[in-house]
Structure 1
Amino acid sequence: MDKTLRDVKVGETAKIKKIKVKGPLRRRLMDMGITKGEDIFVRKVAPLGDPIEINLRGYELTLRKEDAENIIVE
């Protein structure tokens, strides 16, 4: 089973392997800088697990849990 961004713990870094959705959501994620081969550092997770705050490409980004589930990492 593939590991998703949602499975990455706070303080860990992961490399993006692929985005498993198609269409407008894929385009939106890619426009935010989430592309194959990019390193993502998980900074914080909200107390109830949603949203997730990450660092990539030198900036901070907040993602919903359901969006993070669509990003396969290694």
Structure 2
Amino acid sequence: MKTVSDMKISEKAIIKKIIAKEPIKSRLFAMGIVKGAVIKVLEYTLAKQTWDIVSNNTKIALREEEARGIIIDE
């Protein structure tokens, strides 16, 4: 099972499933992070432990907990 936290910079993937509790799940859905959406990792920040991604032309910063809850197609 591969997650966003396993992706490399510039890698693209399709979201397969989202495993998160409320209110995080609702927040992700509101930002367009939904099953079937294509995402691309722009940058990973070690100091902050965040993943900068883009989905539907929207740039989003995900925390480690959120990135690990987004399952992608391998």
**Does the TM-score normalized on the shorter chain lie above 0.5?**
yes
The ranges of structure 1 where at least 4 consecutive aligned residues each deviate by more than 4 angstroms after the TM superposition are: none
Mark the runs of 5 or more structure 2 residues left unpaired by the alignment: none
Partners of 1:45 and 1:53 within 8 A in 2: yes
Determine the C-alpha separation between the residues in 1 that align with 2:9 and 2:48. Answer: 11
User: C-alpha offsets along residues 48-74 of structure 1, whole Å, 9 cap, x if unaligned?
Assistant: 471110011012111101110010001
Q: What is the alpha-carbon distance in structure 2 between the residues aligned to residue 45 and residue 57 of structure 1?
A: 19
Cα distance between partner residues in 2 of 1:17 and 1:54: 16
Unaligned runs of 5+ in 1: none
Q: Is the CA contact 1:13–1:40 (under 8 Å) kept in the aligned structure 2?
A: yes
Aligned length: 73
Counterpart-to-counterpart distance in 2, 1:17 and 1:49: 26
Cα-Cα RMSD: 1.3
Checking the alignment, whether the CA contact within 8 Å between 1:54 and 1:62 is kept in structure 2 is yes
1:58 alignment counterpart: 57
Could you tell me the percent identity over the aligned residues?
Answer: 38
Q: Which has the higher strand share?
A: 2
Instruction: Give TM-score scaled by structure 1 length.
Output: 0.90
Cα displacement (A) at 1:32: 1.1
Normalising by the residue count of structure 2, what TM-score does the alignment of the two structures yield?
0.90
